[in-house]
C-alpha cells in the first residue's frame, strides 16, 4: 500500500490518494471522521482548532460503503481558507500589502526549506511543513484500522510523559488504560500526572513557551510473522520508526525497552519463550513484539518522543533572511502543546504500517482472499 498526500495548511484543503487497499472492505465515513475529531482534541491546542471541524470527503475508490480495490481519494477542507483567500490565492497576483515572513523559527523547517526551495517568503515553506497535513495521514490510518478490525487487530495510544511529568500509576489492563486515556484531556491514564501535565501546559502558555512529551502506541492482536528479516527495508521495526519519525515534531522512537535495553545485561532484556499447548508465549515483552523486524505475536509497543512545538510566543533569536540582521523569530499562531493530538496521529500512522504489512502477508486484492489466507495461516501457525 502507498499514498501521496498534498495540501497547504491555509490553502483550500488537503488531499490524499491511497493505492493498494483491498476490495470489498466495508468502510464507514463516521469512523474516519471520528479519528479526525480525536486528532483535533487535547489540552493545549491553539485557536485554529476552533475554526476547523475536520470531516472527510471521499471522491474515489469506494462504492456503496465498500472499497473497490481502486485508488481511494480523500479530501479534508480547510475551513480557515475563507480567511486566507487573498493571501493563499492559487492564481492571481500577490497582494501589494502581503505580509511576508523572513525570520525563520528555530526548530522549524523554515530556514532549510527557504534555502532549499529558493523561497523569499517563508510562508511558502511553513504551509506544507505544517502539522495540519497529519489530518490526511489520520484519514488514511482510519481506513487502515477498519481493515485491521476485520482481523481483530487494535491500535491504541496514550501519553506517558509530558515535559518533566511522568505517568506512573497506569492500569495494567489495556482496556482500562485506554478508557482512562480516552477520558483525559491530555490522553494520560494517570489522574495525578494528568493534573501536573495540564499545569505544565498552562505554565508554557503563560510564559509564551511550548511543551512536548512521549506517547506510547500499543498494537494488540497482531499475528506472528508480519514484516521480514530478509531485507533491511522489509523490517517492520524500521518501517514503523520511519513512518513515525516522518510525523511533524517527532524526534525519537523506541520499540519495547528501546534505549533502556542498552543499559541492561541480555538476560534482563530478552523474553523467555514458553508454549502453553496451543501457542508460543512470553513472560515479558522487552522486545515490544518485534524480533528481527518481524512480529512475534506479542503486543507491539512503541514509545514516541515529540519535541515542543517550534513556534514560541516569546521567540528565540533568529536572523532576518532579507537583511541578515539578528531579530527575534517570527510568531505564527500555533498550539502550546499538541502531544495528545500527536498520540492520535501516531496511532493512525502505526495502523497504516501494520495494515500494509498485513496486506503483504495475506495478499491484498480482496478482503475475502485476505480472510481465507489469514485462516489458513493461523491454522499453520497453530501446528508449529
Where does this chain bind ligand EPS (CB under 6 A)? 9, 46, 48, 52, 80, 126, 130-132, 135, 332-335
Between 126 and 306, whose beta carbon lies closer to ligand EPS? 126
Ligand-binding site membership of 13 (annotated):
no
Start-end of H helices in 68-207: 110-116, 123-129, 134-149, 174-182, 191-206
Calculate the alpha carbon distances from 259 to 109, 137, 253 in Å.
27, 28, 9
Ligand-binding site membership of 225 (annotated):
no
Nearest-angstrom CA–CA distance, 175 and 171: 9
At residue 76, the 3 state secondary structure works out as strand
Between 76 and 167, whose beta carbon lies closer to ligand EPS? 76
- The least CB distance from residue 136 to ligand EPS, in Å, is 10
Ligand-binding site membership of 311 (annotated):
yes
> Nearest CA to 178 among 50, 356, 299, 305?
299
Ligand-binding site membership of 308 (annotated):
yes
Q: What DSSP assignment string belongs to 311-333?
A: --SSPPEEE-TTT--EEEPP---
- The least CB distance from residue 341 to ligand EPS, in Å, is 6
The β-bridge relationship of strands 72-77 and 280-282 is: unpaired
The β-bridge relationship of strands 56-60 and 290-291 is: unpaired
Ligand-binding site membership of 249 (annotated):
yes
- The least CB distance from residue 354 to ligand EPS, in Å, is 23
- The least CB distance from residue 98 to ligand EPS, in Å, is 17
Between 180 and 339, whose beta carbon lies closer to ligand EPS? 339
Ligand-binding site membership of 39 (annotated):
yes
8-state DSSP, 227: S
Ligand-binding site membership of 310 (annotated):
yes
Nearest-angstrom CA–CA distance, 225 and 210: 41
Between 46 and 149, whose beta carbon lies closer to ligand EPS? 46
Question: Which region holds residue 225: left if phi is over 0, alpha if psi is between -120 and 50, else beta?
Answer: left
The β-bridge relationship of strands 213-220 and 280-282 is: unpaired
8-state DSSP, 21: P
Nearest-angstrom CA–CA distance, 18 and 209: 37
Owner of C-alpha cell 500494509:
356
Between 254 and 332, whose beta carbon lies closer to ligand EPS? 332
Between 79 and 322, whose beta carbon lies closer to ligand EPS? 79
- The least CB distance from residue 339 to ligand EPS, in Å, is 12
- The least CB distance from residue 176 to ligand EPS, in Å, is 29
- The least CB distance from residue 126 to ligand EPS, in Å, is 6
Between 128 and 239, whose beta carbon lies closer to ligand EPS? 128
**CB-nearest residue to ligand EPS:** 48
Beta bridge partners of 244: none
> How far does the chain reach from its first CA to its final CA, in angstroms?
29
Question: Residues comprising the binding site for NADP(+)?
Answer: 39, 45
Binding residues: 39, 45, 128-130, 248-249, 292, 307-311, 333
* Binding-site annotation, residues for FMN: 128-130, 248-249, 292, 307-311, 333
Amino acid at each position: 500500500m502507498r499514498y501521496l498526500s498534498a495540501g497547504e495548511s491555509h490553502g483550500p484543503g488537503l488531499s490524499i490518494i491511497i493505492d493498494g487497499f483491498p476490495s470489498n472492505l466495508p468502510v464507514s465515513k463516521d469512523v474516519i471522521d471520528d479519528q479526525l475529531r480525536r486528532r483535533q482534541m487535547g489540552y493545549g491546542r491553539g485557536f485554529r482548532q476552533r475554526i476547523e471541524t475536520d470531516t472527510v470527503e471521499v471522491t474515489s475508490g469506494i462504492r456503496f460503503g465498500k472499497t473497490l480495490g481502486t485508488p481511494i481519494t480523500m479530501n479534508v477542507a480547510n475551513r480557515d481558507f475563507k480567511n486566507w483567500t487573498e493571501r493563499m490565492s492559487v492564481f492571481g497576483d500577490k497582494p501589494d500589502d502581503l505580509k511576508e515572513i523572513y525570520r525563520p523559527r528555530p526548530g522549524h523547517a523554515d530556514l532549510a526549506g527557504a534555502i532549499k526551495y529558493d523561497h523569499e517568503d517563508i510562508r511558502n515553506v511553513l504551509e506544507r511543513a505544517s502539522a495540519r497535513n497529519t489530518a490526511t495521514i489520520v484519514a488514511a490510518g482510519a481506513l487502515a484500522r477498519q481493515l485491521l478490525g476485520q482481523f481483530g487487530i487494535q491500535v491504541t495510544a496514550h501519553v506517558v510523559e509530558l515535559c518533566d511529568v511522568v505517568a506512573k500509576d497506569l492500569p495494567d489492563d489495556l482496556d482500562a488504560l485506554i478508557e482512562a486515556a480516552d477520558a483525559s484531556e491530555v490522553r494520560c491514564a494517570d489522574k495525578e500526572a494528568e493534573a501536573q501535565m495540564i499545569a505544565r501546559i498552562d505554565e508554557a502558555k503563560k510564559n509564551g513557551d511550548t511543551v512536548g512529551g512521549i506517547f506510547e502506541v500499543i498494537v494488540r492482536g497482531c499475528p506472528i510473522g508480519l514484516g521480514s528479516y530478509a531485507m533491511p527495508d522489509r523490517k517492520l521495526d524500521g518501517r514503523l520508526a520511519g513512518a513515525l519519525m516522518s510525523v511533524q515534531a517527532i524526534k525519537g522512537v523506541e520499540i519495547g525497552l528501546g534505549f533502556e535495553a542498552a543499559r541492561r545485561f541480555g538476560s534482563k532484556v530478552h523474553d523467555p519463550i514458553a508454549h502453553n499447548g496451543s501457542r508460543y508465549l512470553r513472560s515479558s515483552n522487552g522486545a515490544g513484539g518485534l524480533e528481527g523486524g518481524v512480529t512475534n505475536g506479542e503486543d507491539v509497543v512503541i514509545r514516541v518522543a515529540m519535541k515542543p512545538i517550534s513556534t514560541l510566543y516569546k521567540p528565540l533569536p533568529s536572523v532576518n533572511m532579507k537583511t541578515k540582521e539578528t531579530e527575534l523569530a517570527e510568531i505564527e499562531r500555533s498550539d502550546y502543546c499538541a502531544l495528545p493530538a500527536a498520540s492520535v496521529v501516531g496511532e493512525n500512522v502505526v495502523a497504516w504500517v501494520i495494515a500494509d504489512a498485513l496486506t503483504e502477508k495475506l495478499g491484498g486484492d480482496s478482503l475475502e482472499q485476505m480472510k481465507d489466507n489469514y485462516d489458513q495461516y493461523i491454522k499453520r501457525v497453530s501446528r508449529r
